[in-house]
Amino acid sequence: MKKIRWQYIAFRNPYLFALLLLILAAAVNFFFEPDLFTRDTLNSNMRVFLPLILLAVGQAIVILGGGIDISVGAIVSIVNTILATQLGTGASPQRTALMLVAVLFVGMAAGALNGFFVSYLRLQPIITTYASSFLFAGVALFILPAPGGSVPDSISHFYRDTTFLGLPLGFIIIPILLLVWYLVQQTRYGRYLYAVGGKADAAYQTAVPVNTIRFSTYVASGFMAALSGIAITLLTSAGNASIGDALTLSSVTAAVIGGTALRGGVGGIAGAIIGALILGLIKNIISFANINLWWQTFANAAIIVGALAAPGVIELVRRKRS
Amino acid sequence: MSVSLSARNIVKHYGGVVAISDANLDVHTGEVVALIGANGSGKSTLSKIINGVVVLDGGQLLLDEKPVHFSSPQAAKNLGISTVFQELSLIPQMTVAENIWLTREPLNKAGLVDRKTVNARTEELLALFEGTYKNSLNPDITVGALPADEKQIIEILKAICFNPRLIILDEATASLDRRQVQRLFELIAQWKLEDKAVIFVSHRMEEIFRIADTFSVLRNGVTVGSGSMKDISEKELVNLMVAKESASNVVQRERLVQENSTDRKVRLEVENLRTNILKNISLQLKDGELLGVGGLVGQGQKDLLLALFGDLPYEGTVKISNESVHFKNTRQAINKGVALVPGERSKEGLLYIRSILENLLLPSWGKYGFPTKIKKAVQDSQEISTSLNLKMAGLDEPVSSLSGGNAQKVVIGKWLLRKPKLLLLDDPTKGVDVGTKAEFYKLLERLCADGTAILFYSSDDDELIGLCDRVMVMHDGIMRSELKGASLTKSNLIGASLGATNEGMG
């Protein structure tokens, strides 16, 4: 009976584990950085976390639909290099707006390419997007062979220092993401997404347009990667063709910590957002605690291995006990 | 809301394998047509062509006398054709309500899913089967956690939620118990009054005769006969299916008059076996004995077999050949000469994409592996597949190329290669055609004669009565009664299955 109740709680609150971890990470961070909850610190943290949050949301959508997107980091790099080379410090507001919209389409086009391969040509998601990540990384390097470029001060200033209604930008964007997701979940599309990720064969037999749904998850992921690319460009005000490389694994980690099952059909973007926040806080902790930087990579990797192993370990413990 | 559907000269092949070559079917408003055929005869393929899951290669579908072409399940569903799939089309992670309404969710004005309506209408649908499932079944429960019979009910409700005109029931009764089947048949009768048409695919003759108005028989992908149920007998129908006289009278009562087996050794002794579900099960099984386990579906029969195979933690005493054992994993059980033929062969019994040979040898590499004796292994596999009359293109073909009955032979064959002393069978004839069943019964007799002790769970009462020396009837995790000799009759078995307390009185 107890076992069933625990499973029930875990099922009803897939974000429970992530929330606990978030509180723990925030507490440790607070210990090292007592002014963590002041507005300026929150703002400076949020603008650093935001690119990963956006990326993790896209990743979570793909994983929910039963796939995975290893190319998101490279899409971020493409967007970053395009903006840094095409805008420069002196771009007019019109041109800036045009380019920002254009890179969103670039991101979606890259996602559409992945989606086409995976859903219509039925290729393995992990292999396909791993391969396309090299393609995209190559494009980014072609656009900007050496780090450089810049963006107008006005927009990077807007990104870094906007405190709308006294709140850092991240606190505006996260509720918008959650609201959109809440609505998506109420639509048929939302149900289809969970169905395709849960059991694609059964979904197909039930007349769910499986291929279209799969395709759309990669487009959504490409779109989110483009948003993430915009955010990171405004944050750094510079271009670097390998800026997105480190983000890919983190986006998967964030989604997994957030309770999105890698086999698909379970989870949601709220967990991915929490996961991205946790990863950001851990990064903070490591730098504040004066721990060597390679520990950060180690911690990241340890978390993903741990998150992958956790369900299995819990199952094992339960079996031993009964 | 009348409907008629005709399939004319349907052809479908997968690669070089012809699944159906000339299939025909007619079904009209207010009519139940039984689509009958042995496993591998093309019933499933034909029904999947009608519901758009599989695209036909030749022939013509006519809906209301107009030609239609279904390139996807959506197309068929939009024209009012719905299906209860044999392997179920449920998403395990989603709730009952979400599953039932998938793609047909009632929407509110804003275009969002109207949860209130969904839940209310799900309750209405569940009420159709009220009293035949456990009370815990509600719209918000996750489907993956449900037992097989309740999943089946959800699959049926899912098929009727959007008021279809034509309903295909593909082995919809396979995991239902008697009360649930009864309720389904009442519903079918009602659908007929509502001018719906039903295509009923089943192996159970008794049900076909109860519910169908007309029949259509497939054999090797060709429709070999059709007509009114009134004009045909069970024997004639079976003959049409298998095209050989012998397979008709499938279950024989030969084994009941077995020699008294007092001189046989006790192979298995179980005392007070307990698991989450089982309560104090005790039993004794001798060499060469066939002990049946019956009862309604999902009363703990599978748990008993799994516990004995070391695949489920348990408490209590288990002795094999007088030696106390407590299996912690299946390997320990296998090493003691225990074998389990699992219920879901596609999931638990076979590696579908691997070859027949690999599947057969999988549990036996201890024997052939070191040093490798491939020649001997292939030879033994060849022998066992010949003795099982396995119909295949060759040992190197993947198991996925076999029909259901032949795939089941591979599952049995892989354990027979190890010459088990104690064989646990989990509903081995589920979804197997009559011809293969008959062969299987003979095999069981042969194994018993060779001294193998067999614990045989079956959802088919006739099988248990016809084949077993004794039958244990389980109900809600306890052993309700043990039937043998003269008390082993169908009415006693049914009575005990339903949990009736008349056992003590009668």
- pLDDT at residue B83, as a whole number: 93
Nearest Cβ partner for B93 among A201, A205, A265: A265
B102 contacts A208? CB cut-off 8 A: yes
A203 touches B: beta carbon within 8 Å: yes
Asked if residue A2 has pLDDT above 60, the reply is: no
B53 contacts A204? CB cut-off 8 A: yes
Would A119 be classed as within a structural domain?
yes
pLDDT tens, N- to C-terminus, chain B (506 residues): 678 899 999 999 876 667 889 999 999 999 999 998 876 678 888 999 999 999 999 999 999 989 999 999 999 999 999 999 988 899 998 999 999 999 999 999 888 999 899 999 999 999 999 888 877 788 989 898 888 889 999 999 999 999 999 999 998 887 888 889 999 999 999 999 999 999 999 877 788 899 999 999 988 889 998 999 988 887 788 778 766 433 334 454 454 444 455 567 889 999 999 988 888 999 999 998 999 998 877 788 989 999 999 988 899 999 999 899 999 899 999 999 999 998 878 788 888 888 999 999 888 888 887 788 888 889 999 999 988 888 888 888 888 888 778 888 899 999 999 899 999 999 888 767 777 888 888 889 889 988 899 999 988 777 888 888 899 988 878 888 888 888 887 777 877 776 554 443 33
H helix runs in A162-199, sequence order: 169-186, 188-198
CA distance A93 to chain B (A): 36
**DSSP sequence for B281-294:** EEEEEETT-EEEEE
- Count: domains in chain A: 1
The chain A residue lying nearest B82, using CA atoms, is: A206
Q: Which of B250, B240, B193, B245 is nearest to B220 (CA)?
A: B240
CATH, residue A187: 1.10.3470
* Whole-number average pLDDT of chain B: 85
A191 contacts B98? CB cut-off 8 A: yes
Asked if residue A322 has pLDDT above 80, the reply is: no
CA distance A108 to A286: 35
Would A28 be classed as within a structural domain?
no
Would A27 be classed as within a structural domain?
no
Would A6 be classed as within a structural domain?
no
Residue A312, class by beta-carbon neighbours within 10 Å (0-12 exposed, 13-18 middle, 19+ buried)?
exposed
Residues 6+ apart with CB under 8 A from A98: none
Q: Boundaries of CATH 3.40.50.300 in chain B? A: 3-232, 252-337+420-506
Joined together, the tokens standing for residue B430 give 């589920």
Would A189 be classed as within a structural domain?
yes
A192 touches B: beta carbon within 8 Å: yes
Class of domain B3-232: alpha beta
CA distance B90 to chain A (A): 6
Would A318 be classed as within a structural domain?
no
Q: Is B5 helix (H, G, I), strand (E, B) or coil?
A: strand
B91 contacts A199? CB cut-off 8 A: yes
Phi, psi of B458 (to 5 degrees): -145, 145
- pLDDT at residue A14, as a whole number: 66
User: A287, A94 in Cβ contact below 8 A?
Assistant: no
Peptide bond into B371 cis (omega under 30): yes
H helix runs in B194-233, sequence order: 205-211
CA B93 to chain centre: 23
User: A238, A149 in Cβ contact below 8 A?
Assistant: yes
Tokens 């748990």 label which residue? Answer: B303
Give the pLDDT confidence of B436-463 residue by residue, as tens digits. Answer: 888 888 889 889 988 899 999 988 777 8
CA distance A122 to chain B (A): 17
Would A1 be classed as within a structural domain?
no
The matching CATH number, chosen from 1.10.1530.10, 3.40.50.300, 3.20.20.70, 3.30.420.10, for B252-337+420-506 is 3.40.50.300
Q: Looking at this predicted complex, what is its ipTM?
A: 0.83
Give the pLDDT confidence of B3-24 residue by residue, as tens digits. Answer: 889 999 999 987 666 788 999 9
CA distance A202 to A124: 19
A266 contacts B88? CB cut-off 8 A: no
Residue of A2, A64, A181, A188 to mutate, interface with B, max B Cβ within 10 Å: A188
User: B159, B83 in Cβ contact below 8 A?
Assistant: yes
Q: Would the pTM of this model clear 0.95, i.e. be above it?
A: no
Query: Which range marks the domain in which residue A309 is found?
Result: 17-22+44-313
B276 contacts A322? CB cut-off 8 A: yes
- pLDDT at residue B18, as a whole number: 75
Give the pLDDT confidence of A232-257 residue by residue, as tens digits. Answer: 999 999 999 999 998 998 899 899 88
Give the pLDDT confidence of B62-87 residue by residue, as tens digits. Answer: 999 899 999 999 999 999 999 999 88
Would A82 be classed as within a structural domain?
yes
Q: Looking at residue A164, what DSSP letter applies? A: E
